[in-house]
Structure 1
Amino acid sequence: MIHKTTIDQVYETARLEEVIGDFVQLKKSGSNFKGLSPFSDERTPSFMVSPVKQIWKDFSSGKGGNVVAFLMEHEHFSYPEAIKYLAKKYNIEIEETEQTDEQKEEASARESMYLVSEFAKDYFVNQLTKTELGKAIGLSYFKERGFTDETIKKFGLGYSPDQWTAFTDEAVKKGYQLEFLESTGLTIVKEEKKFDRFKSRVMFPILSMSGRVLGFGGRILTNDKKAAKYLNSPESDIYHKSKVLYGIYHAKQSIAKEDNCYLVEGYTDVIQFHQTGIKNVVSSSGTALTPDQIRLINRLTKNITVLFDGDAAGLRASLRGIDLILEQGMNVKVCTFPDGEDPDSFAKNNSLEELSDYLKENAKDFIQFKASLLMEDAKSDPIKKAELVRDMVTSISKIPDRIKTEIYIRECSRIMDVSEDVLFSTLAQMGKKELADANKKYKQQQKEQAFTVVKTPEATQKVDALFELEQKIIQILLLYGHQEEDFEDLVLKENEEGELILEPEIHKAKVFEKIYLDLQQDEIELANEQFKAVYYSLIEALNEQEEFKIDQYVNTLNSELSSIVTSILMDDEKYQLAKWDEKDIYVKAKDKTVAQLASETILSLRCFLIQQKVSELQQETVDKKDDNKEVLEEVMNYYSLKMLLARKLNRVV
């Protein structure tokens, strides 16, 4: 168990915008930051971070919370793991007590898989650097590739010995369960036999964005023609190769800073670039590029430069990846290396300055790249040239931005010497075909559902007024609870003619005191159980603390209530995402009319509850067959009270 002093220090030290900035590219938006959601596929930012309140809200998925909640949602950390991650990031020494056997057993299967993977990484590193066989075979291979000791350590490179069960035996001996060795793919179990998957290979650990070990890539060093040259961990609960990029952990900050990401094919390409000095580079690890991998980069930058070696066949096979990047609304360039060179060898044989200059001078727009790649074959063949032009227009059609589309069409017209009108016409035909295909698919679905019984809702769902009012009360307490305001109450008084009139009386009070006393006076309790729990904890905190701080308060709540509070707080700032001020629409700041806002919200709640009571009594008169006199009198009394409250609210009833 981690000591409370350590947890408190972590919360006090950690800066939410810094932590989230490691995973999402954030841009200033007023007093807040905004970015693309890391939890859904989107092109318009709906992810908001408040440095003042130290909370975040993702409006596309509804998730929100504090810095620990983000790590638990994004990285699937347990609470202790999130605290440890932050402590490591901010160099805070962790004080903790020894876990009991029962607490160890409570660790989930997923966490156990992470622990096994971390142990495996350390084991392979130890084999590489501390054993004679590891030094002679594994270390010498990495040295031949030109990797320094510092680079080998940084990327956690290792070696798995040429023995069938060496790793498995050591892991079991250390107390790791065979169940998790198998589920991570580190050990292969067949009937009564078990053996190491990565026997006799140099090892490349594959890390998540936060540095957790997800899986491994292993390269064989022998000339065994039956064995695959590279072997990756199989799919598991923690490793999904289509959603992972090799090197993203070491590259994320540099990608955001440089506002560009270099995309290569292999592990050693990434490592060699890092060692040379270019760190904003990742690899798809030999698999075909996927939309999930592109979205991972999209959180950090809109710009991708794809790096290829001079192999023309390999280049053609990779063109589909470029179209996928364009579909995500990103800017893509392509850079190829001279024949016989790849990113690894070129970085190894050139200085940082030479490599940087080469990338700047040779990075081509994807249109220029496609034209230069395929034009040689098409020069003397009109049919092939027509196919090439159509292929280029197909790529342009993937771009969601219409302005970019038009610019690329004009560029394609210039390069291929084909009129713009023809290209725009071809683009329109493609659009019509896509629309026709979509309509055909829709009609087919409708046909299949023709005989499906569909229940029509009786009425459009109404706004839950009580929920909205109770939520507004929590919001006012959170934002302005400690503020002292002048409240105007309308009090019934008798004038000289003996008539009852409403006269204003001004009194000074803190907002939370005003709300609490008004609700107590009418014996009103919040109906929503979660709001009720937040309400009482808020009143207690506001009453006890001389200086109420939202970020500290949120950290005292459990995850469920923390999420609710975050949603209420960040919903107040949601209009910033729409940039209303740029459209000459100015939202009035609530803190200018806090007293009026609090009073009107309480009065509105009282009006709503009275109307509820009147409706109940009216139903009672319908149900009763005999004398309704007393019930009707009660209805009239409530109705008079409602009229009085309406006068205070300046509403017509």
Structure 2
Amino acid sequence: MISDDKKEEVRAAADIVEVVSDYVKLKKSGSGFSGLCPYHDEKTPSFHVTPRLGIFKCFGCGESGDVLKFVMDQDGVGFTEAIRQLAERYGVFIPEEEEGLNDERSQHKEGIYHALKFAGVYFYRNLIENPEAQKARDYLEKRGYSNAVIKKFGLGYAPGGGEDLLKAAKGAGIDEKYLHDADLIKPSQRSDGFYDTFRNRLMFPIFSPTGKVIAFAGRVLGNEKTAKYINSAQTQVYNKSEVVYGVNFARNEIRKNKEVILVEGYTDVITLNTNGIANVVASSGTSLTPGQMKVLHRYGEKIIMIYDSDDAGQNAMKRGIDIALSEGMEVELLELPENQDPDSFVKQFGKESFTDLKNQDSKDFVDFLMLKAEEEGRLEKPVELKKVIEEILRSIAHIPDSIQRQVYVQHLHTRTQKWRRGSDRDLYEELDKIRADVLQEEKRAQRRNQRQLEQPYRPKPMDNSESDPRPVPEPVNNPVRTVKKPHYEKELIRLMISYGRKMVEYVCSFTNEKLFEDEELQIFYKDILQRYMDEEEISVNAYSGREEPFPKLVGDVMLERYTASDRHHEKVGLKYEKDKDPFKSAKSVMRTLELHFYHRKRAELAEKLKSSDDDERRMIIRKQSDIQAKITYREKTDADDLYPDAESKDENGNQRSAFEYKMKHERDE
């Protein structure tokens, strides 16, 4: 385990303002900083960071904590990984020791991150060393990319063998499960094995804002009849709708310039960055999404979009305008000279020419859309003119700020007077109608997003029957969703049937069946207790041979979805053990069980209070106060101090059991 001294050293070294600024655009506010909360949607900043105390607090949703909690929440990692991540960032040495993580989801995420990091290094080394990668090296040399650029952006090459990465990763002790759930390998349709997802391609790693490899894009190098680019599928660590390529390199420059340049291609980002234009990102091979725009808005207020002049590029541009405006960003557009893209323009004319062109020719979205319509001859045709005005009003309708909407309506009014010769009243009336439609669309989109968020993450199956990473829908003939059993209740049952009578005796000295929320687990608990009193065997085997639902419940509480790689154990010489001290584990679980029980009771009393008379109200308030005191005591007290140790010594120094189960009528009232 990482020592307490090291944990405090990391906390002291980490700059909470700097770390939070990776996710939240902070502004100085008194002795601290404030910004829009990353834990919930809000329009007015209620999220505050106090660097003197090293803490954050949202007065809107109540979330609070230190720099470690923030990293755990935002990156979806466990406590130990958060410490290691910050230690690496701030130069604190952490020895490679065994990590005692119990959160299987966090543990699995870290396994995926490790697989992706390994793949990134593997692809890079192949690009540099593998003779097969000569065509990739030639391609990059032709583009003018030096070794320093290749290394900075982690470019690589995926060999064409079919199982090269798979074999190398397994040789390094990486479990196939992590490779599969990182979308680095896919199940074979011809056999029971797997094959590499990326083969014979130039590789572009995609990074999180903090610089962790989370996905890849692979570019074909020849004239093969296949997709020019393939990207990693959605995974537990990669949500493509919330990722922009290059943000890890660009975020500080975006803050400095207060603007972000959005381009279409990976090489556009690399070339501009290499030539000193660092506030540039691309949308990772996808259409621009609200999630991506929210990420960009963390760092800057203004976005300059550069899209190709073809139909696809222009359509993407129009969708991007509305998304950026909805996020509250200032939007400008830049059209490069014919047959030029950002990569070719900067290589031919240099940084200064690009900057001058951007400053002089960038136009706000109203002027840009009017110019495009004029070039297409649409403004001279009454029917088309009406459509152009409605299209621009629809974009204006996405702006959340009412004053800003008024400013742009006046701007549109001025720009169209030549053709309309009317007042602005008609524009405002039409805007109101469109605005109502837009708000309805946004509400429907929010409901869809909420339903998606409520779907549990399900890793892709490791057979060849299905490879879709999206959540699996419920069967049509089974509309009732199965409620997930509380993990802490399952954990307590697991400890009891794993360690038998001594554990049952210990646990039942401090708990009872009423603490359980899940009915099946409550029945399981009562049955264990009955078998204890009847002096019958209590074990996994005993319950596996019982009638239903016990065998199913045993599988539920005992089954480990993910296990650590045996090859990894051999490599590092350490093995993760779930219960180094099972009684200490029991203390922690019992504390959690009691806390959830009292939280449920507090909620029940709050409901009763709504319909109570004066006498009942006073009684309920007293009960609420008592329950709150119990919650506070358990929240502030370490589990090890809440319950005595499992064994103590008698007056003769002999070990004896400190606890005996008493029937209800035998207990002190």
> What is the TM-score of this pair, normalised by structure 2?
0.65
Q: 1:126 to 1:367 in 2, by over 3 A?
A: same
2:633 to 515, 525, 532: 532
Contact map agreement 2:116 2:214 (CA 8 A) in 1: yes
1:393 matched to 2:385? The reply is no
Q: Is the 1:14–1:90 contact (alpha carbons within 8 Å) kept by the matching residues of 2?
A: yes
2:266 is matched by which residue type in structure 1? Y
What is aligned with 1:157?
A: 155
Q: In structure 2, what is the Cα distance between the partners aligned to 1:189 and 1:536?
A: 48
Question: What secondary structure sits across from 1:350 in the alignment?
Answer: helix
- Is 1:255 matched up with 2:231? no
The total of aligned residue pairs comes to 470
2:561 pairs with 1:460:
no
Map 1:337-348 → 2, pairs under 5 A: 337-348=336-347
Whether contact under 8 Å (2:398, 2:438) holds in the other structure is no
Match of 1:405 in 2: 405
Aligned to 1:497: none
Question: Is the CA contact (8 Å cut-off) linking 2:78 and 2:107 kept in structure 1?
Answer: no
Q: Classify 1:375/1:312 alpha carbon distance in 2 versus 1 (closer, same or farther; 3 Å).
A: farther
Shift in Å, 1:376: 2.3
Are the counterparts in 1 of residues 49 and 55 from structure 2 also a CA contact under 8 Å?
yes
Q: Does 1:185 align with 2:183?
A: yes
In the alignment, is residue 245 of structure 1 matched against residue 249 of structure 2? no
One-letter identity of the residue aligned with 1:149: N
Query: What's the counterpart of residue 429 of structure 2?
Result: 425
Match of 1:618?
none
**Aligned-pair CA distance for 1:80:** 2.1
1:286 maps to what in 2?
285
CA 1:291–1:355: 2 relative to 1, 3 Å: same
Is the alpha carbon distance of 1:468 and 1:233 closer, same or farther for their aligned partners in structure 2, counting shifts above 3 Å? farther
Q: For residues 262 and 395 of structure 1, do their structure 2 counterparts lie closer, same or farther at Cα, with a shift above 3 Å needed?
A: same
Kept after mapping to 1: 8 A contact 2:101/2:107: no
Distance (whole Å) between structure 2 residues aligned to residue 245 and residue 465 of structure 1:
55
Could you give the per-residue CA deviations for residues 15-61 of structure 1, whole angstroms, max 9, x where no partner exists? 21122122221101111210112233332212111112110023444
- 1:406 Cα deviation from its structure 2 partner: 1.1
Is residue 24–residue 299 contact of structure 1 (8 Å, CA) maintained in 2?
A: yes
| Cα pair distance change 1:202/1:468, threshold 3 Å | farther
Q: Which has the larger radius of gyration?
A: 1
CA contact (8 A) 1:75 1:210 kept: no
Q: CA deviation at 1:457?
A: 6.7
Letter in 1 for 2:335: T
From the superposition, tell whether residues 249 and 102 of structure 1 become closer, same or farther in structure 2 (CA, over 3 Å): closer
- Residue 527 of structure 1 and its aligned partner are, at CA, apart by 4.8
1:273 partnered with 2:272: yes
Structure 1: which 5+ residue stretches go unaligned? 442-455, 472-523, 538-556, 559-653
- 1:467 CA drift (Å): 12
Contact 2:326 2:399 (C-alpha < 8 Å) held by counterparts: yes
Pick closer, same or farther for the CA change 1:101–1:376 going to 2, 3 Å: closer
The answer to whether the 8 A contact 1:35-1:45 is kept is yes
In structure 2, the residue corresponding to 1:351 is in which secondary structure? Answer: helix
**CA-to-aligned-CA distance 1:246-287 (integer Å, 9 cap, x gap):** 111111111122211111111111111110111111111221
Q: Distance in 2 between matches of 1:536 and 1:181?
A: 40
One-letter code aligned to 1:67: V
- Give how far 1:358 is off: 1.4
When the two structures are superposed, what TM-score results if normalisation uses the length of structure 1?
0.66
Residues 314-338 of structure 1: CA deviation (Å, up to 9, x unaligned): 2134201211111122211111111
Residue 153 (structure 1) shift? 0.9
1:264/1:282 contact within 8 Å kept: yes
The alpha-carbon distance between structure 1 residues 415 and 401, as it changes in their structure 2 partners (threshold 3 A), is same
**Could you say which residue in structure 1 is the equivalent of 2:11?**
11
Matched position secondary structure for 2:399: coil
- Residue 213 of structure 1 deviates from its aligned partner by 1.3
Tell me: CA distance 1:159–1:60, structure 2 relative to 1, closer, same or farther (3 Å): farther
Checking the alignment, whether the CA contact within 8 Å between 1:201 and 1:219 is kept in structure 2 is yes
Instruction: Indicate if the aligned counterparts of 1:309 and 1:339 stay in contact, CA closer than 8 A.
Output: no
Structure 1 pair 170–432 and aligned structure 2 pair: CA distance change class (3 A): closer
Shift of 1:98: 3.6
1:534 Cα deviation after fit: 6.2
Q: Distance in 2 between matches of 1:147 and 1:239?
A: 27
Higher relative contact order (CA 8 A, sep 6+): 1
Other-structure match for 2:77: 77
Question: 1:525–1:86: structure 2 CA closer, same or farther, 3 Å change rule?
Answer: same
Cα offset for 1:366? 0.4
Q: Deviations over 1:144-165 (max 9, x none)?
A: 1222222211111110012111
Match of 2:264, as an amino acid?
A: E
Task: Indicate the SS of the match to 2:610.
Answer: coil
Partner residue in 1 for 2:213: 213
Equivalences for residues 297-446 of structure 1 within 5 A: 297-311=296-310, 313-377=312-376, 378-417=378-417, 418=420, 419=422, 420-431=424-435
Tell me if structure 2 keeps the 8 A contact 1:43–1:329: no
In structure 2, the partner of 1:142 is 140
Report if aligned partners of 2:397, 2:438 keep a CA contact under 8 Å in 1: no
Specify the code of the residue in structure 2 equivalent to 1:83: I
Q: Is the Cα–Cα contact under 8 Å of residues 211 and 249 in structure 1 kept in the other structure? A: yes
Cα distance in 2 for residues equivalent to 1:106 and 1:16: 25
| Unpaired runs of at least 5, structure 2 | 446-605, 641-669
8 Å contact kept, 2:76–2:106: no
The 3 A distance-change label for structure 1 pair 223 and 353 is same
Partner-residue secondary structure (3-state), 1:287? coil
- Tell me how far apart the structure 1 counterparts of residues 222 and 409 of structure 2 sit (CA, whole Å): 51
Question: Residue 162 and residue 271 in structure 1: after superposition, are their counterparts in 2 closer, same or farther (change >3 A)?
Answer: same
Q: Which amino acid aligns with 1:182?
A: H
The offset of 1:105, in angstroms, is: 9.7
Question: Is the CA contact 1:46–1:59 (under 8 Å) kept in the aligned structure 2?
Answer: yes
**Residue in structure 2 matched with residue 609 of structure 1 by the alignment:** none
Partner of 1:49, secondary structure, is strand
Q: What is residue 516 of structure 2 aligned with on the other side? A: none
Equivalent residue of 2:278, what SS?
A: coil
CA contact (8 A) 2:87 2:94 kept: no
- Give 1:231-242 correspondences, 5 Å limit: 231-242=230-241
C-alpha distance in 1 between matches for 2:116 and 2:73: 20
Q: Say if 1:309 and 1:343, in contact at 8 Å, map to a contact too.
A: no
Q: CA deviation at 1:239?
A: 1.2
Q: Is the 8 A contact 2:394 2:435 kept in 1?
A: no
Name the structure 1 match of 2:110: 111
SS in 1 for 2:141: helix
CA contact (8 A) 2:50 2:56 kept: yes
Q: Secondary structure at the match of 1:336?
A: coil
- The amino acid that maps onto 1:296 is V
Any conservation in 2 of the 1:322–1:332 contact (CA below 8 Å)? yes
1:166 alignment counterpart: 164
- 1:425 deviation in Å? 2.4
Structure 2 CA distance for aligned equivalents of residues 469 and 31 of structure 1: 39
User: 1-side partners of 2:22 and 2:439: how far apart?
Assistant: 40
Query: Does residue 194 in structure 1 map to residue 194 in structure 2?
Result: yes
Task: Report Cα offsets for 1:299-328 as digits up to 9, x if no partner.
Answer: 222211111233355213420121111112
Equivalent pair of 2:35/2:45 in contact (CA under 8 Å): yes
SS at match of 2:334: strand
| Counterpart residue identity of residue 331, structure 2 | V
Contact 1:23–1:252 at 8 Å: present in 2 too?
Answer: no
Q: Judging changes above 3 Å, is the alpha-carbon distance between structure 1 residues 188 and 416 closer, same or farther for their aligned structure 2 residues?
A: same
Q: Post-superposition shift, 1:2?
A: 3.1
2 CA distance for matches of 1:222 and 1:412? Answer: 48
SS of residue paired to 1:34: strand
Write the distance in 1 (CA, Å) between the matches of 2:11 and 2:444: 55
Mapped partners of 2:68, 2:319: distance in 1 = 38
In structure 1, the residue matched to 2:39 is 39
Alpha-carbon contact 2:609-2:620 (below 8 Å) kept:
no
Looking at structure 1, the residues matched to 246 and 25 of structure 2 have their Cα atoms a distance apart, in angstroms, of 17
The farther-off stretch of 459-468 and 313-322 is 459-468
